[in-house]
Amino acid sequence: MHAVDFSALEYRKDATFQEASYRYEGDTDTGWRILREGKEHLILPAGYRLLKSIRCGVCSTDLARHHLPFPLPQITGHEVIAEDESGKTVAAEINASHRSTGSPLAASCSFCRQGLPTHCPDRLTLGIDRLPGGFAPWILVPEMNVVEIPGNVYGRASVLIEPFAAALHATEQIGLTGLERVAVLGAGRLGLLIVAALTGRRETKGGSFSIEAIDQERERLQIAKSLGADRVWEDAGAVMIAPDNAPPFDMVFESTGSPQGLALALAASSREVHLKSTTGMASLGLEHVTAMVVDEVSLGPLGREGNDPIPPPPASQGIAMIIGGHISDEQARTVERAGYETIWIRNDDDLRKGFDSVRGGDSEQVPLAVVESIESIDKILRPWPDREQGIIRPRGTILLADVDQPRAGLLAPILKRGIKISTSRCGDFRLALPIMQKLLEKGIDPGTIITDELPVNELPEAFARARSPGSIKVVLVH
């Protein structure tokens, strides 16, 4: 059995820090006991490895942690580079699922079994949900989540593998065929990595689309150019000016980290907006924007005539919920013709009753829902105030039916112009590392976004700098 004792700064609900003592005791074969302030805090099953933290980045999720619906206080930090038992430099993927720990429960978990382990309902999330993170000197990481860093991905770039993988995953969720202009709104820590990921994808997969970055900070836009942006814009208003008043971009990645960014992204796109920000705050009347991103749910129009494409049902669950009393029979039949069995709920108040009728299948969640209001979107994303689970399954789809409702807030761009909103969360390190290697070989260095490096005992100062306009990426060093 192994045991390590240490003290680390925890993040609190009031966005301040406090020091707490921790002890990890156990081993990979039998599991671990985590003690906090001498009291049992968390029990982990077999399958976790003890790693020594080397560096850990600060991201927008860390800064917004007090807005997110996970227990506090906690040792945060999830962009971790560490050293394993043999001295190798490794990265730690953040979602501790049944599958990642090698648990036999993976066979009975519909998410782990169907290739969605990052959405396993029993998962812990490193530095975000219960599992102590990389601002501690030691971390416990599932065996399958430990990824060796190749020697040609050097220190400054390597600490960015987690956010770069997330950025690359975002670009892989959209079809780039036929795109002419793609914009990244917000050239901050995430937006710049999306620029680099788009560059890497264009290099490896081909494509003739332009990559354009929008931000008020000239210095950030210069970095965007070095990462592959073809054109940059300081004035978001100027880019919107077009002779025919048409939106200038086919596709916009929204990465500002502000609720206002979604409105601007929707106005600038003619086809799709990809949302990455997890601010924990409402936007355009939708309360559960962050939940939509965490669950990787997409939102788009159904249309009065049902002409918009409907994703095919997954083999495991072909039930669609239709929610609202004004949706027409023809719109419902469109869903049925796409291969779904439908459950029609006329009133939001009957939503849980309808959900109970779905239970007992392979999954308790449905892959598709058709709604007529923002209120219904919120209710199916998070129907229970004390439970972080929706009625719509992760990577599911919500379609908004046109029933002549008022075009306000989020409804206007979806119903008037047919805009789709897609979302994404974590990416695969093993897919991202070769792309990062290729970029570095071409002289494109994602590590240039790191503006500050501080010792880990200066964590409060690191957060203050990360929130300041002069910094882009802050990294803590152990």
Token digits for 85? 């038992």
Separation of first and last alpha carbons in the chain: 25
pLDDT, tens digit, for every residue of 314-333?
876 788 999 998 999 999 99
Q: How confident is the model at residue 114 (pLDDT cuts 50, 70, 90)?
A: confident
- In whole angstroms, what separates CA 143 from the centre of its chain? 22
Q: Compute the distance between CA of residue 70 and CA of residue 76 in angstroms, rounded to an integer.
A: 11
Residue 357 has pLDDT above 60, yes or no: no
What does the DSSP 8-state code read for residue 130? S
Buried b (16+ CB within 10 A) or exposed e, 359-375: eeeebbbbbbbbbbbbe
Q: Enter the pTM of the model.
A: 0.92
Task: Give which of 429, 240, 403 is closest to 327, Cα–Cα.
Answer: 403
pLDDT, tens digit, for every residue of 369-427?
999 999 999 988 988 777 778 889 999 999 999 999 998 889 999 999 999 999 998 99
Q: What's residue 361's pLDDT? A: 45
Token digits for 474? 């802050």
- Cα-Cα-Cα-Cα dihedral sign, residues 276, 277, 278, 280: negative
Neighbouring C-alpha atoms within 13 Å toward the C-beta of 474: 25
- The answer to whether 195 and 211 are in contact (CB under 8 A) is yes
Residue 199 has pLDDT above 90, yes or no: yes
- What string of DSSP letters covers 313-362? PPTT--EEEEE-SS--HHHHHHHHHTT-EEEEESSGGGHHHHHHHHTTSS
Which DSSP helix (H) or strand (E) runs through 252?
Answer: strand 249-254
Token digits for 57? 């980045």
CA distances from 304 to 301, 309, 401 (A): 9, 13, 7
Q: How confident is the model at residue 307 (pLDDT cuts 50, 70, 90)?
A: low
pLDDT, tens digit, for every residue of 60-99?
889 989 988 899 999 999 999 999 999 999 999 999 999 9
Q: Compute the distance between CA of residue 330 and CA of residue 379 in angstroms, rounded to an integer.
A: 24
The whole-number average pLDDT for the span 253-281 is 87
What does the DSSP 8-state code read for residue 283? B
Q: What's residue 354's pLDDT? A: 57
**Residue with tokens 């439908």, as numbered in its chain:** 342
CA dihedral 236, 238, 239, 240 (to 10 degrees): 90
What is residue 121's three-state secondary structure? coil
Residue 134 has pLDDT above 90, yes or no: yes
Task: Give which of 318, 380, 319 is closest to 350, Cα–Cα.
Answer: 380
Q: Which domains does the chain have, with CATH numbers?
A: 2-148+448-477 (3.90.180.10), 161-280+426-444 (3.40.50.720), 297-423 (3.40.50)
CA distances from 170 to 139, 277, 300, 422, 426 (A): 27, 11, 17, 9, 9
What is residue 218's three-state secondary structure? helix
pLDDT, tens digit, for every residue of 162-193?
999 999 999 998 887 889 999 999 999 999 99
- The answer to whether 345 and 354 are in contact (CB under 8 A) is yes
- What string of DSSP letters covers 43-108? EE-TTEEEEEEEEEEE-HHHHTGGGSSS-SSB----EEEEE-TTS-EEEE-SEE-HHHHT-GGGGT
CA angle 432, 132, 127 (to 5 degrees): 45
pLDDT, tens digit, for every residue of 11-23?
999 999 999 999 9
Q: How confident is the model at residue 214 (pLDDT cuts 50, 70, 90)?
A: very high
Q: Compute the distance between CA of residue 37 and CA of residue 25 in angstroms, rounded to an integer.
A: 14
